[in-house]
Structure 1
């Protein structure tokens, strides 16, 4: 028997490969199916099942394409009834995989169809549980997402279901079970997940706040719902794609892989009203880019920031990438349902510049340069675009918080009659914010390279006292 976690850091998402006696199962695959197919081929195994723990909100699953490519059966738990061919398991139903069994355990709460899958080895011993978004390491799945798809399903109702699922289905299981969750730290599907991506259930019973048996149901609901921020706009759109089905990734890749000359690129931008998405490194982008382009670098949590900041998954997108990154970019967009990439700039920004077309740039200061300015002019207008919890835990005294997640709600903080200095934690998010603001007509924007980490390392400026983020809501 083999169990492997296939983790994708960009989405903080974990898929799983399980194999026994030449038969394999995949749990919660991403849309690009190649890694799973190749893993099975390496073992000479046939993919028999694709198990889906629920209708995912933060990514488009690869279950449909994977089933078509391999002949595997798609399996959902109770209440999982999609618009395409799939098998709906009953609570407690077992599936043979070689010499092992996989048992469906219905655990509504994150969503109503949420189901965990219990792994039973050749001897009949339960050895692991694949919990999807029901149970994370240090957290549980947020219970407010389904209400954005089903109007009468309130977050309070779902939180109540989650309490019952954890108490009746999960906590009674053996302490030595290995917990394999659907996500790790960085996912928007929970609020305080651990960086660890596996643990024993016994440890989680000791340290996971949501498994605290002293909490009443009412206290649990309050605790789970406190501190949740609104989910990204693309979440309900991804849920519907996972329920209704979607275009094959092969077709999406073919459409997006159109190499466009600067002239054709400019014409396409005008005709389609596409967003020009520049995925180069933030500091490379700052030195020269196409006017009105948005910078979301591939080197960060690219897919989740695209989903957060481009609200419509059907939005036409034109790409500017480093040479050779086109395919990776289109794939990562498709993982979160952005299938309408209409082409990329052939030769990258170099060809645009050589064609003599207009360029824009961003002034970027080092932390030392900024500290010297701020020390002599405390009235400098500085915006910290980190999350509220990051800002509250520690920040430069005298700066304002304008979280990138909710940039639209905080536009009034940007002063048109002053120079606005922006920073985040390390320089990735501040350049995203600046590029969006410039595309909307704001000027006088300066980036602080290296962000808060560099400012803190410089040691010149006063910071608020550090508060452990785990104590923050």
Structure 2
């Protein structure tokens, strides 16, 4: 038997590839299926089942394409109602794969169909738990995503989650290995560990949600401090439930090359958003006017989902050479399939064609230090609130990037301000959005707070957020 975790850092997502004898299963696959098919061919095994822990909100699963290409059956837990052919398992139903067994444990709470899969090895020992979004390392799944679909409050869903964890999962043996669907960085939880594998026994000791004195305290603990889910989540659920266009077709359309003239014409006629995926330093030096910068060198897909939100929004891409396929692939993982093509030759081709370009006014942390000395400067910090609370520039305003569409209307276009994040990735996203909406009177700080912290700019006292959480 072989268990392999296939972890994708951008989404903080874990898919699982399990082989026994000449049969295999895949749990929660990503959108692009060819890597799985190549692996099956290399191992000379047949894919028997595709297990889905629930209808994912933060990414589009590869279950539909993978089933069509391999003939493997898709399996959901009880109460699931997909609009494609699938096996809807009963609670405690067992599926045989080679000489191992996988037992379905219905664990609602995150969503109503949420299920965990218990692996029983060749020696009839309960070996591993694939816990989906029910149990994370250090946390549990957020209980607010299914409210509209179920006509239930987040408190009611949290009560279901409590029963699932305390009655179905906690009684299992301590030596069982927990393989969750997500790790730190995912918006599906609020307090996840950076590790991606752990024993159930260790989680029983250290996971705050598994150490509550009663259901009431559990409900309060898991619902406290939940941030609003990204706007694209509901659209991804629909795609996972109804099905979607083949990834192969999405990739083919997205890799359509455009000359500067064609690119400009399509942008004007289609209402497409120009998405520039180059790093923030290159973008600052020159870009196509009205472009939005979200760099491939960071948490690209989740930020696209959070900032653009509408998965049907037409997109035109500006990339570095040979990064087009990666950009289309990562966009498709979160359901952004309406990609009209990319600019052949990238921004250099645009510049060489003599067309108009724009820049962002960016300065170093040292220049920032000099400019604000003895002045009453306005400073906007776009990091997360927890980062700001840990330490920030004195008098800076906390305006998290995730909520830019809410706070942008509060900014006075005539008043100059400085803009920073932790290292420049998020502040350049904010800068591009601000300029696309007519804001010009600001200065972005290269290197962000990481660079500012090396200067004498006055800062608040550092507060360890891990201690605050405890």
- TM-score computed with the length of structure 2 as normaliser: 0.98
Conserved 8 A contact 2:365-2:455: no
Partner residue in 1 for 2:161: 162
State how far apart, in whole Å, the 2-side matches of 1:431 and 1:218 are: 43
State how far apart, in whole Å, the 1-side matches of 2:413 and 2:119 are: 59
When the two chains are superposed, the root-mean-square deviation of aligned CA atoms in Å is 1.1
Conserved 8 A contact 1:414-1:420: no
Partner residue in 2 for 1:464: 460
Mapped pair 1:238 → 2:246:
no
Partner residue in 2 for 1:199: 198
- Higher mean C-alpha deviation, range 150-159 or range 258-267: 150-159
Give the C-alpha shift of residue 471 in structure 1: 4.6
Give the C-alpha shift of residue 406 in structure 1: 0.4
Partner residue in 2 for 1:321: 319
Partner residue in 1 for 2:337: 339
Give the C-alpha shift of residue 213 in structure 1: 4.2
State how far apart, in whole Å, the 2-side matches of 1:411 and 1:418 are: 13
Partner residue in 2 for 1:253: 251
Which consecutive segments of 4 or more residues in structure 1 shift more than 4 A? none
State how far apart, in whole Å, the 1-side matches of 2:236 and 2:242 are: 10
> 3-state DSSP class of the match of 2:373?
helix
Partner residue in 2 for 1:433: 430
Alignment of 1:224-303 (within 5 A): 224-303=222-301
> 3-state DSSP class of the match of 1:167?
helix
State how far apart, in whole Å, the 2-side matches of 1:461 and 1:38 are: 53
State how far apart, in whole Å, the 1-side matches of 2:183 and 2:42 are: 27
Give the C-alpha shift of residue 189 in structure 1: 0.3
**384, 397, 401: which one aligns with 1:400:** 397
Partner residue in 2 for 1:183: 182
User: Structure 2: 5+ residue runs without aligned partners?
Assistant: none
Mapped pair 1:78 → 2:75:
no
Conserved 8 A contact 2:110-2:146: yes
Give the C-alpha shift of residue 453 in structure 1: 1.1
Give the C-alpha shift of residue 219 in structure 1: 1.4
State how far apart, in whole Å, the 2-side matches of 1:323 and 1:35 are: 23
Conserved 8 A contact 2:104-2:117: yes
Mapped pair 1:450 → 2:447:
yes
Q: Deviations over 1:238-266 (max 9, x none)?
A: 00111111110011111111101111101
Conserved 8 A contact 2:231-2:306: yes
> 3-state DSSP class of the match of 2:444?
strand
State how far apart, in whole Å, the 2-side matches of 1:383 and 1:107 are: 43
- How many residues are paired up? 469
State how far apart, in whole Å, the 2-side matches of 1:128 and 1:420 are: 52
Give the C-alpha shift of residue 437 in structure 1: 0.7
Conserved 8 A contact 1:192-1:470: no
> 3-state DSSP class of the match of 1:188?
coil
Partner residue in 2 for 1:39: 39
Query: Residues 472, 306 of structure 1: CA spacing in aligned structure 2 closer, same or farther, 3 A cutoff?
Result: farther
State how far apart, in whole Å, the 1-side matches of 2:64 and 2:152 are: 27
> 3-state DSSP class of the match of 2:305?
helix
State how far apart, in whole Å, the 1-side matches of 2:320 and 2:181 are: 31
Alignment of 1:355-434 (within 5 A): 355-377=353-375, 379-434=376-431
Conserved 8 A contact 1:389-1:472: no
Conserved 8 A contact 1:29-1:62: yes
**307, 310, 318: which one aligns with 1:309:** 307
Conserved 8 A contact 1:295-1:435: yes
